Amino acid sequence: DTSILPICKDSLGWMFNKLDMNYDLLLDPSEISAIYLDKYEPCVKPLFNSCDSFKDGKLSNNEWCYCFQKPGGLPCQNEMNRIQKLSRGKSLLGKY
């Protein structure tokens, strides 16, 4: 069935296959959590939510690949920019 083949190639398709630990051609939040790194943790949930166009709690390979090709930019990058904008006006009290 060619309708379930990814619409992207190379590193995005490879990453989808690497994260799909149960080989069901869907990514769920537990599989996405494999990319949790301290630096990117704040954007993993927004990334998943923005990519889940069917709002079914899972990402197909087409949803995954399309998400990184949206004209509005990369979801994680957009979320990190939003967080930085919110924190610009805030400063830590005291020095370490």
d(CA 19, CA 96): 38
Mean local confidence (pLDDT), 67-78: 70
Domain assignment present for 81: yes
Backbone φ and ψ of 26, nearest 5°: -140, 145
Domain assignment present for 34: yes
Residue 69: which CATH number? 1.10.238.10
Domain assignment present for 4: no
Domain assignment present for 5: no
Domain assignment present for 3: no
d(CA 63, CA 88): 32
The pTM of the full predicted model, rounded to 2 decimals, is 0.67
Q: How far is CA 44 from the centre of its chain?
A: 5
Query: Is the predicted pLDDT of residue 5 greater than 70, yes or no?
Result: no
Domain assignment present for 86: yes
pLDDT tens figures, 11-29: 888 888 899 999 999 999 8
pLDDT tens figures, 26-67: 999 888 877 766 655 667 777 788 889 899 999 998 888 888
Tokens coding 65: 């690949």
Total domains in the fold of the chain:
1
